[in-house]
């Protein structure tokens, strides 16, 4: 075998190794991208859970505090607005407002001992607390997966593969207003 043939073989071998390595990096990036996308849609699942809870909650509160019409209407309209809003930033804003009016509704229950003792209401209250937490945790998880993805496509060697195949940086979920930053935790 001539020297040229050996050189060719070495070259071809190096190329195959490089190619396999690039596939590995690509798969790793792709897996992280899918994880981030899944995390994003998981937030929607929790938001949907909250929409489903609200009519039930409003009806229960109505039974004990029908004259708190203003707050109840505010909850219903905030829900409708959140359901119908699209676009990441606008949606986040609408969801934030919904969290706030819901907080007000729950606060109001303090004034109604019968309501506070109602089993149905207590169960809904627990579900609402849990859903609010789940929304928060789902967002937190989304940001973590996004960070992992962004880190990989911005550092070596991911940056080479990402640049070549057009992987774009993903946006973090950020709360838009100062009021929302004040932990949208519902306190009872």
Partner 1 sequence: MSEAIHTENPAIRGLPPNVTFHDLIRRNKRRSALLMVGMGLLVIVVGMAATALLAVYTGVAGDSVNLVQSLLLGGVAAAIVAAIAGTWSFYGGSKAILALSGAKEIAKKDDPQLYNVVDELAIAAGIPPPKVYLIDDTALNAFATGRDPQHAAVAITKGLRAQLSRDELAGVMAHEISHIRFYDIRFAMLMATMVGLIVFASDAALQMMRIHLWHGGGRRSSRRSSGDNKGAAVLMIVVFILALILMIIAPTLAMMIRMAVSREREYLADAGAVELTRYPQGLIGALEKLGACREPLEAANRATSHLYIVNPMKSALKGQGHELSSVFRTHPPLHDRIARLHALMAPPAASNRPRPATEASRGRA
Does position 137 bind partner 1 by CB under 8 A? Answer: yes
Nearer residue to partner 1 within complex by CB, 74 or 153: 153
Does position 95 bind partner 1 by CB under 8 A? Answer: no
The vertex-98 CA angle with 96 and 100, nearest 5°, equals 75
> Nearest distance from residue 129's CB to partner 1, in Å?
8
* DSSP state for residue 170 in the 8-state scheme: P
Binding mask 159-188 for partner 1 (x = CB under 8 A): ------------------------------
Nearer residue to partner 1 within complex by CB, 46 or 93: 46
Residues 19-78 that bind partner 1 (CB under 8 A): 35, 39, 42, 46
Beta-carbon-side half-sphere exposure of residue 47 (alpha carbons within 13 Å)? 21
Contact by Cβ (8 Å): 100, 177 = no
Run of H or E including 115: helix 113-117
Beta-carbon-side half-sphere exposure of residue 1 (alpha carbons within 13 Å)? 7
Structure tokens of 184?
A: 């949208």
Q: From its phi and psi, is residue 118 left (phi > 0), alpha (psi between -120 and 50) or beta?
A: beta
Nearer residue to partner 1 within complex by CB, 6 or 123: 123
> Nearest distance from residue 28's CB to partner 1, in Å?
11
| Residue of 77, 130, 155, 177 that binds partner 1 (CB under 8 A) | 130
Site for partner 1, rule CB under 8 A: 35, 39, 42, 46, 123, 126-127, 129-130, 133-134, 137-138, 140-141, 144-145
């Amino acid at each position: 075998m001539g020297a040229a043939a050996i050189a060719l073989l070495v070259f071809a071998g190096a190329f195959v190794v490089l190619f396999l390595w690039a596939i590995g990096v690509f798969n790793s990036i792709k897996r992280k991208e899918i994880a981030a996308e899944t995390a994003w849609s998981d937030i929607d699942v929790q938001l949907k859970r909250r929409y489903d809870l609200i009519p039930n909650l409003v009806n229960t509160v109505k039974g004990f505090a029908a004259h708190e019409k203003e707050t109840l209407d505010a909850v219903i309209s905030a829900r409708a607005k959140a359901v119908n809003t699209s676009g990441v930033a606008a949606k986040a804003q609408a969801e934030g407002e919904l969290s706030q009016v819901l907080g007000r509704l729950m606060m109001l229950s303090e004034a109604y001992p019968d309501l506070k003792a109602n089993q149905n209401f207590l169960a809904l209250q627990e579900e609402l607390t849990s859903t609010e937490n789940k929304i928060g945790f789902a967002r937190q998880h989304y940001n973590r997966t996004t960070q992992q993805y962004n880190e990989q496509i911005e550092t070596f060697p991911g940056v080479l593969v990402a640049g070549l195949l057009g992987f774009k940086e993903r946006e973090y979920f950020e709360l838009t207003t100062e009021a929302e930053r004040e932990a949208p935790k519902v306190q009872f």
